[in-house]
Amino acid sequence: MGRIHVAVREEPLSCDAALAFLDDPSHGAVCTFVGRVRNTNLSRPVEGVGYDAFDALATRILAAIAEEIHRRWGDELDVWLEHVKGELPVGGVSVVVAVASGHRAESFAACRHAIEEIKRRVPVWKEEHYADAESAWIAGRSLRL
């Protein structure tokens, strides 16, 4: 049975920790996605981003996404999903998705699925801080049922 790790963290996210978690001789493939703070948005210079999160529900939904990966691509996959909470500078890591599998097709597909579902379902919000000292919460996708 593959392992699952999910978290919303206020400490810096670590790709090395993800790769160590996924280290297993049965895995011939590890696919990672790392989300970072970009220095512009819609041509406006960005200096940093603050992330707010509803930790309890966010963690449950991350776990649900990981379990979906097991059902869809096989429960032998190892899955690491972490999202940050708090302030990040440009280049800071906001999300780490990492999936390990025997062969590459499953890792690539599951990794893509995970980041798309995180953006679609996980209750996290970003407030961009601009070079002109203004800040703005980014409009997103409604979760209203």
Partner 1 sequence: MTPHLSVEFTLYGAFRAHTGHAPLRLTLPAGATLADARRELPAALRAVAPGFADDALLAVSAFADERQLLRDDTPLSDGAAIAVLPPISGG
Residues near partner 1, by CB under 8 A: 35, 51-54, 56-57, 60, 83, 94-95, 115, 118-119, 121-127, 137-145
Shortest distance in whole angstroms from residue 109 CB to partner 1? 18
Residue located via tokens 């011939």: 28
Beta carbon nearer to partner 1, 17 or 93: 93
Beta carbon nearer to partner 1, 72 or 120: 120
> Distance between CA 86 and CA 91 in Å, rounded?
14
Shortest distance in whole angstroms from residue 92 CB to partner 1? 13
> Distance between CA 49 and CA 87 in Å, rounded?
6
Beta carbon nearer to partner 1, 37 or 77: 37
**DSSP sequence for 54-100:** -HHHHHHHHHHHHHHHHHHH-TT-EEEEEEE-EEEETT-EEEEEEEE
Shortest distance in whole angstroms from residue 138 CB to partner 1? 4
Say how many C-beta atoms besides its own lie within 10 A of residue 118's C-beta. 20
Shortest distance in whole angstroms from residue 81 CB to partner 1? 11
